Copies of this chain bind each other. A is one copy, B any other.
Amino acid sequence: MSPRRSAAEALGTRSAILDRSVAIASAEGLEGLTIGRLALELDMSKSGVLGHFGTKEALQLAVLERADEVFRAEVWEPARQAAPGLPRLRVLCEAWISYLEREVFPGGCFFVAAAHEFDGRPGPVRDAVEARFAAWRARLRKEARRAAEAGDLPSGTDADLLAFELTGLVMALNHAVQLHRDPEAGHLARRAVRARLGG
């Protein structure tokens, strides 16, 4: 056995660091995620942790990317199975609600939390968070537009407004689950979505 780690082992370590990081940052925020704490929980030295990323900011960006992979697998992927337009929009909303109810990230939606943490701090992390939300909003709007054009939504439906409303419902759900631990919130969110999308 050579004392040097193989590339595969290094990748495994990096992946383990990111898993832990997502768990910590989900509860404590991306700033609350500290190198020292990561090192302690992973039984590594601080420099061992930092060596994989270089700086804390690079670590934060990598954590965002890992969280995005989870979000895509949980929310975007299920919707690919459904037909474009209203059916897909419904699956998207249901997957989104379910992802929050099941607390896939124990601290609630990773991106909503990161948005609040970084919206007042210019820099690459803020830019990355904003880009993810912009992509998500564009996707919601596209499906809403398709649904409206297909005649599956009331005439005069505005895709922008609908995407805005759906985003708000999900934020209210996230808030109710995380702050109030309200077990009824999922029910409310589903009723509100149904009022918008029927079904």
Write the residues of chain A forming the contact surface with B, with a CB cutoff of 8 angstroms.
27-29, 31-32, 106-108, 112-113, 115-117, 119-120, 129-130, 133-134, 158, 160-161, 164-165, 167-173, 175-176, 178-180, 185, 188-189, 191-192, 195
Contacts and interface: CB of A to CB of B under 8 A. Distances in A.
B171 A133 contact: no
A120 B107 contact: yes
Contact of A188 (B27, B161, B170): B161
A31, A116, A161, A191: most-surrounded residue (chain B CB, <10 A): A116
Contacts of A119: 107-108, 178-179
B164 A192 contact: yes
A115 to B, nearest CB: 5
A176 B168 CA distance: 10
Given A117-B29, A120-B27, A169-B168, A133 B188 contact: no
B130 A180 contact: yes
A110 to B, nearest CB: 11
Contacts of A120: 27-28, 106-107, 178
Contact of A179 (B113, B133, B189, B192): B133
Contacts of A188: 160-161, 164
Given A27-B120, A120-B27, A160-B188, A172 B178 contact: no
A28 B129 CA distance: 17
Contact of A191 (B161, B185, B191): B161
Given A107-B120, A112-B116, A165-B192, A175 B171 contact: yes
Nearest to A191: B161
A149 to B, nearest CB: 20
A172 B168 contact: yes
A172 B164 contact: yes
Given A29-B117, A120-B27, A164 B178 contact: no
Given A108-B119, A117-B29, A172 B179 contact: no
